[in-house]
């Protein structure tokens, strides 16, 4: 394999060498200024290269999509620009056909590899100015970052800090990302896939334990949390809702759906790279119930996104028989709440805290559980609550909140009062 000496690497030789040595000069967020400023609502499975499919991804509330693997992203970028979406370019290519014809050394894999530094330079030179480009998938199924991903992260940090340097991890490694100067932590949090034979409540609990780990790592290493949740093969409305709203309660700054598509295969592990429907009628005829569920969730998350960006989950409270999680009580910002609830208190400097309230009732079957009324008593410093919804706000006086939630559903509220605005410790810098 022919080695390549990069003119970009030569221009930024000192910072890149420092990154390769595992000692970047600054923190993982320093040096980046992403052009994509919105709360990420993203689909791993890309649309097919048709107007009809991009139309329905937009209708489903996504703002970020992938390009099709092993395929040049010209069509994806042009269609995304046309439909008001952004693209993360999937840089994976078969081993025998590197992008631009040249690759440097990479970690061995039987069939394919992510772009090495000369390949990423080639992709960047070709597509770097496209207005629909949000960034690149630098690696998938990694824990610690191998040398080639450290190199590509360093290249983007030095020469394109406005682009997202996405690494999707199968093993959480906040330390590895921080050492490489990569600011985004995006683990595959998949109890609904890997533990799909377990009861629904067990899957929900496992998800929250993984979100707990993600929260801790992102606070420790000052990383941006983008949990990826599995909806492929998940037909339950309550489980699909719970995965997203629980992620928000634990401070998610973006949501990735794996593997979102119009038509669900019986094989939960299959990936479908688009379906190629040419008309909106064809797409509509192949929609499954998950489409309406996800579209409804995304519509609400898009409204909440500006409030959620820059937030850190200072406290997370649970009720129900889940050991090892924080519980409400006297002297806490949540003093009491009904059974089977999850509440995350989200803070950022200069703003009143938010509370993400989530119903923990889940079932493996669709439409198996109805809505219920729940109540929460906040601390005495809370003099009012603002319920934030897509069609406006609802102001409630006092420190008690009553809501009606669907199974697995969630509601974002703002806590109002002079005392409440100061609750929590100093938050890391906002992500936007």
Which among 312, 310, 305, 294 is positioned nearest to 390, based on CA atoms? 305
CA distance 415 to 108: 51
pLDDT tens readout for residues 49-95 = 999 999 999 999 999 999 999 999 999 999 999 999 999 999 999 99
CA distance 186 to 204: 19
Per the document, the length of the chain is 432
Q: What percent of the chain has a predicted confidence (pLDDT) above 90?
A: 81
Of 287-291, 319-323, 380-384, minimum mean pLDDT range: 287-291
* pLDDT at residue 324 greater than cutoff 50: yes
**If one looks up domain 312-422 in CATH, what number appears?**
2.60.40.1180
* pLDDT at residue 218 greater than cutoff 70: yes
Q: Band of the pLDDT at 427, cuts 50, 70, 90?
A: very low
Higher pLDDT, residue 110 or 333: 333
Higher pLDDT, residue 27 or 1: 27
pLDDT at 328: 98
Which among 404, 289, 414, 291 is positioned nearest to 351, based on CA atoms? 414
Which sign, positive or negative, has the C-alpha torsion 143, 140, 187, 222?
positive
Q: Band of the pLDDT at 288, cuts 50, 70, 90?
A: confident
Q: Does domain 7-308 have CATH number 3.20.20.80?
A: yes
Give residue limits of the domains in the chain. Answer: 7-308, 312-422
pLDDT tens readout for residues 335-351 = 999 999 999 999 999 99
The DSSP H or E segment spanning 3 is none
């Amino acid at each position: 394999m022919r080695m390549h000496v990069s003119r970009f690497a030569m221009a930024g030789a000192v910072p890149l060498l420092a990154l390769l040595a595992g000692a970047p000069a600054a923190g993982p967020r320093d040096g980046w200024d992403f052009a994509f400023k919105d709360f990420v609502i993203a689909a791993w499975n890309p649309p097919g290269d048709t107007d009809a499919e991009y139309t329905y991804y937009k209708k489903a509330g996504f703002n970020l999509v992938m390009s099709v693997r092993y395929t040049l992203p010209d069509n994806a970028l042009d269609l995304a620009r046309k439909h008001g979406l952004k693209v993360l370019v999937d840089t994976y290519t078969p081993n025998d056909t590197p992008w631009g014809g040249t690759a440097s050394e990479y970690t061995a894999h039987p069939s394919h590899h992510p772009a090495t530094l000369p390949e990423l330079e080639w992709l960047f030179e070709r597509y770097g100015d496209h207005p629909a480009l949000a960034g690149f998938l630098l690696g998938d199924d990694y824990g610690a970052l191998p040398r080639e991903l450290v190199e590509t992260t360093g290249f983007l940090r030095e020469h394109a800090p406005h682009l997202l340097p996405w690494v999707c991890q199968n093993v959480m490694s906040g330390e590895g990302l921080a050492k490489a100067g990569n600011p985004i932590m995006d683990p595959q949090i998949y109890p609904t896939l890997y533990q799909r034979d377990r009861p629904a409540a067990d899957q929900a609990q496992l998800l929250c334990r993984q979100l707990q780990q993600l929260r801790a790592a992102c606070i420790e290493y000052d990383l941006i949390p983008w949990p990826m949740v599995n909806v492929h093969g998940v037909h339950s409305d309550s489980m699909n809702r719970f995965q997203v709203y629980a992620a928000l309660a634990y401070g998610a700054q973006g949501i990735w759906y794996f593997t979102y598509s119009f038509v669900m295969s019986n094989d939960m592990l299959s990936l479908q790279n688009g379906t190629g429907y040419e008309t909106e009628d064809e797409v509509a005829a192949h929609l499954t119930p998950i489409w309406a569920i996800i579209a409804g969730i995304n519509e609400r998350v898009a409204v909440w996104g500006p409030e959620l960006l820059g937030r850190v989950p200072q406290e997370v409270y649970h009720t129900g028989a889940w050991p090892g999680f924080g519980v409400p009580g006297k002297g806490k910002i949540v003093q009491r709440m009904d059974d089977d609830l999850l509440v995350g208190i989200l803070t950022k400097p200069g703003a009143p805290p938010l509370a993400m309230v989530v119903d923990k009732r889940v079932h493996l079957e669709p439409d198996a559980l109805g809505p219920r009324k729940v109540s929460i008593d906040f601390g005495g410093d809370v003099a009012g609550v603002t319920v934030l919804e897509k069609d406006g706000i609802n102001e409630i006086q006092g420190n008690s909140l009553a809501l009606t939630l669907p199974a697995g559903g969630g509601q974002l509220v703002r806590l109002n009062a002079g005392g409440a605005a100061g609750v929590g410790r100093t938050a890391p810098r906002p992500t936007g």
